Chains A and B, each alone.
Chain A
Amino acid sequence: MSEILKVEGLHKYFGKLHVLRGIDLTLEKGEVLVIIGPSGSGKSTLLRCINHLEDYQKGRIFFEGRLVNPKKDVNYLRTKIGMVFQHFNLFPHLKVIENLTLAPMKVLGVSKEEAEKKAQVLLERVGLLDKRDEYPIRLSGGQQQRVAIARALMMDPDIMLFDEPTSALDPELVYEVLEVMKDLASSGMTMIVVTHEMGFAKEVADRVMFMDSGVIVEQAPPDEFFANPKNERTKEFLKRILSF
């Protein structure tokens, strides 16, 4: 396996608030990394820094071995790193198919026919081809999130970031989104997933990472991570989250 992403000594402040305090992280191609941790520990901020939706005050990020220049490379980088948000963020004024085709056409210069052909394939893959001409508001939360995943995939990203993709969903809709993500993982996609779905972590993750107060506390393959966590904070967190 080869390294695709490396985060080195990353520090992020919101004003005086020190949110990320020295994050070091490497990701192999094809790896599925699940990040867990209490609310406010900096999980979203870390994903957003990787995608440069937030700036950072210290540290370096390497993509495919090359140092990312936050002033120059972000638009290109973002085409290579897809992001799926907790609240889907589909474009409400565009039909499903247009949600998918807009960025490839405007950013990559793909023709409309080509973009639509690809969109059909991806909609089929997430099981929503029949919704291609609907507006997002007419879809359930689970369907919207699947469209959002397809939209990100349209750019042929090398890495997909998921920020609590199922947290805003009714329980009965969680499953269909996780299925799509599992399918994606088994197709070899490199993924970083922030989630509270421990079942998903156990089943799909290659590595589970626990964050607290802006630092990485512990990380291990899921079997080891869940069977015998080493750090007290990890144990405490797992006890709380697995107890219901």
Chain B
Amino acid sequence: MIYQIQVLVRSFDYLLIGALMTLKITAVSVLMGLVIGTFVGMGRLSKSRAFSWPASVYVEFLRGTPLLVQIFLIYYGLPSLGLNLKAFPAAVIALGINSGAYVAEIVRAGIQSVPKGQYEAARSLGMTHGQAMRYIILPQAFRNILPALGNEFIALLKDSSLVSVIGITELMKSGQIVISRTFASFSIYGGVALIYFGMTFTLSRIVRYVEKRLAIA
């Protein structure tokens, strides 16, 4: 037991470097997911089938297949079509595309939560559809869906552990590397879990803080 703790203490810096990578992957994927999700979410609500149909297919397909399969498809599958991606871009793209599907559903609900009169008032002032969305609907929608988005980001942070399988040395992989050298499975996985928890807990606090700040306005 003493040995286990010693290993954890000695390799803690190394795990933290992995955690930094986890944060980096999560941050980039979150941004990608937000952008994709916003457009796909708006697409799902479009009156034109040319937008709503592809958006629906996107959401259904990505939510209906395992993330691990999606990661493999992008990292191992695309090269056979002649498209080689390095591990980091592959990981971020897979996570971002996947998260985009979940964010799209959240954004859709958020847009629907804004009363119809808001859109009409904006249009009655001469704003285009795009202007009404950008200045009136989306700001209110995002305020309403902030808690749900926070949950999605936390899920994404945890899901990012899956990209350890394509050889990215994020937190999970760092732990595995330490264990393969020291066999201190319990303390290292325990430490890894604690670091994940520290990150998700902090993230949820940040989301709650932002929520409160926005609620005042």
Most B CB atoms within 10 A — which of A78, A82, A87, A106? A106
Partner of B124, one of A53, A91, A108: A53
Is A82 touching B124 in the complex (CB atoms < 8 A)? Answer: yes
Tell me if A43 is interfacial: C-beta within 8 Å of chain B.
no
How far, in Å, is A30 (CB) from chain B's closest CB?
22
With A85-B117, A92-B140 in contact, is A103–B125 under 8 Å at CB?
yes
CB <8 Å contact, A78 and B123: yes
Q: Which of A78, A79, A102 contacts B135 (CB 8 A)?
A: A102
Q: Closest residue to A104 on the B side, CB-wise?
A: B125
A11 beta carbon closer than 8 Å to chain B: no
Beta-carbon nearest neighbor of A90 in chain B: B121
Q: Are A151 and B125 interface neighbours, CB within 8 A?
A: yes
| A155 at the binding interface (Cβ < 8 Å) | yes
A83–B135 CA distance with the chains assembled, in angstroms? 19
Counting CB contacts under 8 A, is A244 at the interface? Answer: no
The count of A-to-B residue pairs whose CB atoms sit within 8 angstroms is 59
Q: Which residues of A contact B217 (CB under 8 A)?
A: 93, 135
Interface string of B59-94 (1 = CB under 8 A from A): 000000000000000000000000000000000000
Residues of chain B within 8 A of A75, CB atoms compared: 126-128
With a cutoff of 8 Å between Cβ atoms, the chain A residues found around residue B140 in the complex are: 91-93
Q: Which residues of A contact B117 (CB under 8 A)?
A: 85, 87, 89
- Of B126, B135, B136, which is within 8 A of A76 by CB? B126
- Over the window 51-82 of chain A, the binary record of Cβ atoms lying under 8 Å from chain B Cβ atoms (1 yes, 0 no) is 10100000000000000000000011011001
How many Å lie between the Cα of A90 and that of B126 in the bound state?
15
Q: Which residues of B contact A106 (CB under 8 A)?
A: 127, 131, 135
A152 proximal to B (CB < 8 A): yes
A25 on the B face (CB < 8 A):
no
- Residue ranges of B at the interface with A (Cβ–Cβ < 8 Å): 115, 117-118, 120-128, 131, 135-136, 139-140, 143, 217
A residues apposed to B, CB below 8 Å: 51, 53, 75-76, 78-79, 82-83, 85, 87, 89-93, 102-103, 106-108, 135, 148, 151-152, 155
- Given pairs A92-B140, A107-B127, A151-B125, 6 additional interface contacts (CB within 8 A): A53-B123, A82-B124, A89-B117, A89-B118, A107-B125, A148-B121
Ranked 3 nearest A-B pairs via Cβ: A89-B121, A79-B126, A103-B125
